[in-house]
A = this chain, B = another copy of it.
């Protein structure tokens, strides 16, 4: 089924993670074919870390894992929507969602603060 997906020139596809019951958009990250396959096989979300150049099993350090509820893809098959059940917080800053800032009237507004100390997540 992974053959149905269109990966970019770097072999990657963007993946949106959305909390399955609240609808909150948690983060956007990237997957390669191996990450998609592992995620489908294990039911635990695995991305591709572009900075580390390696598979990134979400929560492997922090414990803030994502359990896959449903894996959807779009009309062009070049973007994924992952419905997940997020343990704790999605963002490495300790916030529930990575999308915690907005541009409003030429200002950057912070919408939410950390609910967990990042130092407690990453030691």
Interface residues of A (CB under 8 A from B): 1-2, 4, 14, 16, 18, 22-25, 27-28, 40, 70-76, 79, 81, 91-93, 95, 98-104, 106-108, 111
Contacts and interface: CB of A to CB of B under 8 A. Distances in A.
30 contacts: A1-B106, A1-B108, A4-B108, A14-B28, A16-B16, A16-B25, A16-B28, A18-B23, A18-B25, A25-B25, A25-B81, A27-B74, A28-B79, A40-B103, A70-B102, A70-B104, A71-B103, A71-B104, A72-B99, A73-B99, A73-B102, A73-B103, A74-B98, A75-B91, A75-B92, A75-B95, A76-B98, A79-B98, A79-B99, A81-B99
Q: In the assembly, how many copies of this chain are there? A: 2
Nearest to A101: B73
B102 A75 contact: no
Contacts of A99: 72-74, 79, 81
Interface pairs A-B: 9 shortest CB-CB: A23-B23, A74-B98, A28-B79, A81-B99, A72-B99, A75-B98, A72-B102, A1-B103, A71-B103
Contacts of A71: 102-104
B27 A72 contact: no
A50 to B, nearest CB: 10
